[in-house]
Structure 1
Amino acid sequence: MQNILANVAVSVSELKKNPSAVLSGADGEAVAVLNHNRVMGYMVPAERYEAMLDYIEDLELAKLARERIEAGEPAVKARIEGDDIVFEDSDA
Structure 2
Amino acid sequence: MVYRILTNTVASITELKKNPMGTMANAEGEAVAILNHNEPAFYCVPPELFAYFQELLEDAELNDIVDKRKHNAKFVKVDINEL
TM-score normalised according to structure 1 size: 0.75
2: CA distance, partners of 1:24 / 1:57:
28
Structure of greater relative contact order (alpha carbons < 8 Å, 6+ residues apart): 2
SS in 1 for 2:15: helix
Match of 1:22 in 2: 23
How many residues are matched?
Answer: 76
2: CA distance, partners of 1:73 / 1:55:
29
Please state how far the C-alpha of 1:73 moved relative to its aligned partner.
4.8
Please state how far the C-alpha of 1:49 moved relative to its aligned partner.
0.5
Runs of 5+ in structure 2 lacking a partner? 77-83
Taking only aligned residues, the RMSD between alpha carbons, in angstroms, comes to 1.7
Runs of 4+ residues over 4 Å off in structure 1 = none
Match of 2:58 in 1: 57
Please state how far the C-alpha of 1:17 moved relative to its aligned partner.
1.1
Runs of 5+ in structure 1 lacking a partner? 76-92
Structure ranking higher in strand proportion: 1
SS in 1 for 2:70: helix
SS in 2 for 1:27: coil
